[in-house]
Structure 1
Amino acid sequence: MEQKYAVPALDRAHAVLSLLTEEPYKWKLSDISKHLGISKSTLYSLLLTMERLQWIHRDRNETYALGSSLGDFGSAYFRQFDLAREFRRLAEPVMRILQESVQLARLDGSDVLYLAKIEAPSPVQMVSGPGVRIPAHATGLGKALMMEMDDEQVCRIFPEETLPKLTVHTIGSRDAFLQELETSRGRGYCLDIQEGVMGFCCVAAPVRRRGEVVAAISCSMPIHHWEGKKDIAVREICALAKQLSTTI
């Protein structure tokens, strides 16, 4: 990763967390400052912010340990693996009904990150296996992951009005993307008609945990299958998303 894009405050916070992971409730501000080579004034502001965010906890002896927010992050991290396991179990019969591939993904910055895929026995496939990233605005999955965000959240993810086009059908502006999200909210699912990959269409729906969208699933298929399978794909993907939302 290019260092010119590094954020020094995050590097320092990471160093503090690493130290507290090894030895909780041992380090005071002055000790951390000496050990990590961070000035006391800089470290004071950093620790106050981390404490406010509940990344760390300070006891009455002025020593620090990891905070409750990190426990929440850790639980969420491991839940995604539980979700992937449940997805593989529940998506298999959906793939057999549709005879089309079914994917699971989460949002990572402005990209969709694929977590799992149940692949259909077809010689024609999208490149969408675990670990693959695709710009969120160009996919049904990305729309499903962002469909419940407000405009301000979307603008933070896409600070520029112009969005890169992957195909001639990709949404090319933030305003158009916001309109598409509004349409998706109204119908409860999202579509991608050759927007991410020419020759492929998909339907996607969000997976929720405690009312929050934590992932999304989709079914992708060659465009020549679309008209014949669209309605059943919408029904099966929405049902699978609802089922996953209640099992994780």
Structure 2
Amino acid sequence: MAVTVTVERSRDRIQSIERGVEVLRAFGDRDATLSVADIAARVNLSRPVVRRILLTFEHLGYAVVRSGQWSLTPRILELGSGYFQRSSLPEVAYPYMIEVVEATSETCSVGVLDGIDVIHVARVEDRRPMPGAVRIGTRLPAHATAVGKVLLADLPERELKRYLNKARLEEHTPHTITDADVLRERLDVVRVQGYDVSIEELYPGQVAVAVPIVVDGRAVGGITASSTTVRETEASLREIVMPVLQHAASSIGAAYRNANPEIFRSR
């Protein structure tokens, strides 16, 4: 039966839309402009197919080409506007994130799990911006980030197994966890203590602490404060910053539930 359902769902998908989304996602890194060849290599499609997709987006006003280099237009923000509505997690979280920044003088972000990555959906910068600052919409590997690990720790066992089977635990620094068994052990600790501290696991010199935003017993996202080894130590993150995040996460969870009764009413 499971195979039959999978086949039926596969038949229901529209391949041209899937390809169009892949082309849009090719612009998700720090490259603002890309050539047809660049995109074709990233999404594993032929150049003629990529070109037709880009011309379609150009016709719709979502992309523009100059001297052979393609970029997205501000109109692309329309596609995400539904998520950032008044009752969305980012909108609900922003006031509390501002309080975190004011209390800790560190940059605060909210992330959600998407496959093997964490997507940052909200961010409030301190006056001292982080080097290589993360933008809203940036995808980061879940295994190498504090917010990723608090979200992985909340997954049911079946979903966690699926993640471990799919994810490539790539090494980003000498401190990155690249062994699945070691990651499982770390997640067991995170699950018990309710937070994670990441010390130079993704970028050298950068540190972070994160806690889950829990609604009705499940994490709907995670809130994190990030800094550098110059400004924070593991001890200061645990003892000073983490309690501020826990208070904010509790407030965000309650506010998000109240703002979305249609989602949580039946739970």
Structures share fold, TM-score greater than 0.5? yes
Which segment is superposed worse, 122-131 or 106-115?
122-131
The CA RMSD over aligned residues, in Å, is: 2.6
Match of 1:92 in 2: 98
Q: Which residue of structure 2 lines up, in the alignment, with residue 239 of structure 1?
A: 247
Q: CA deviation at 1:78?
A: 6.9
Name the amino acid aligned to 1:116.
Answer: A
* Distance change >3 Å, CA 117–CA 81, structure 1 → 2: farther
| C-alpha distance 162-92 of structure 1, shift in aligned 2 (>3 A) | closer
Q: Which amino acid aligns with 2:171?
A: K
Q: Could you tell me the percent identity over the aligned residues?
A: 26
Are the equivalent residues in 2 in contact too, given 1:205–1:241 (CA < 8 A)? yes
Aligned mates of 1:13, 1:112 — CA distance in 2 = 27
Count, aligned residues: 183
**Counterpart for residue 63 of structure 1:** none
Query: Cα offset for 1:180?
Result: 0.4
For residues 85-164 of structure 1, the aligned pairs below 5 Å read 85-159=91-165, 163-164=169-170
Task: Give the letter aligned to residue 12 of structure 1.
Answer: R
> Residue 98 of structure 1 contacts residue 229 of structure 1 at CA under 8 Å; is this kept in 2?
no
How far off its partner does 1:127 sit?
2.7
Alignment of 1:28-107 (within 5 A): 82-107=88-113
Structure 1 pair 161–109 and aligned structure 2 pair: CA distance change class (3 A) = closer
Where 2:191 maps in the other structure, the secondary structure is helix
Identify if the C-alpha distance between structure 1 residues 80 and 106 changes in structure 2 by more than 3 Å, giving closer, same or farther.
farther
C-alpha displacement at 1:13, in angstroms?
A: 2.4
Indicate how the Cα distance of structure 1 residues 126 and 238 shifts in structure 2: closer, same or farther if over 3 A, else same. farther
* Residues 107 and 130 in structure 2, CA contact (< 8 A), matched pair in contact too: no
Q: Aligned partner of 1:220: which letter? A: S
- The gaps in structure 2 that reach 5 residues or longer are 1-5, 18-81, 257-267
Q: Distance in 1 between matches of 2:196 and 2:7?
A: 38
Distance 2:192 2:250 in 1: 17
Find the aligned partners of 2:241 and 2:132 in 1 and give their Cα distance: 17
Separation (CA, whole Å) in 2 of partners of 1:160 and 1:124: 31
Distance 1:204 1:126 in 2: 19
Match of 2:187 among 162, 167, 181: 181
Equivalence for 2:38? none
- Structure 1, residues 176-200: CA drift from partner, whole Å, max 9, x if none? 1110011111211111111111111
2:85/2:91 contact within 8 Å kept: no
Partner of 2:208: 202
1:190 matched residue in structure 2: 196
The one-letter amino acid paired with 1:85 is E
TM superposition shift of 1:150? 4.0
Q: Distance in 2 between matches of 1:148 and 1:79?
A: 26
Partner Cα separation in structure 1 for residue 84 and residue 13 of structure 2: 20
CA contact (8 A) 2:120 2:135 kept: yes
* Conservation of the 8 A alpha-carbon contact between 1:162 and 1:173: no
- Kindly indicate whether the alpha-carbon contact (under 8 Å) linking 1:162 and 1:174 is maintained by their aligned counterparts in 2: no
The Cα shift of 1:147 comes to 1.1
Please name the residue that 1:12 is paired with. Answer: 11
Q: Tell me how far 1:141 sits from its aligned partner.
A: 0.7
**Structure 1, unaligned runs of 5 or more:** 1-6, 19-75
Query: Residues 200 and 223 of structure 1 are in contact (CA less than 8 Å); yes or no, is this contact kept in structure 2?
Result: yes
Find runs of 4+ consecutive structure 1 residues off by over 6 angstroms. none
Call closer, same or farther: CA 1:167–1:11 in 2, change over 3 Å: same
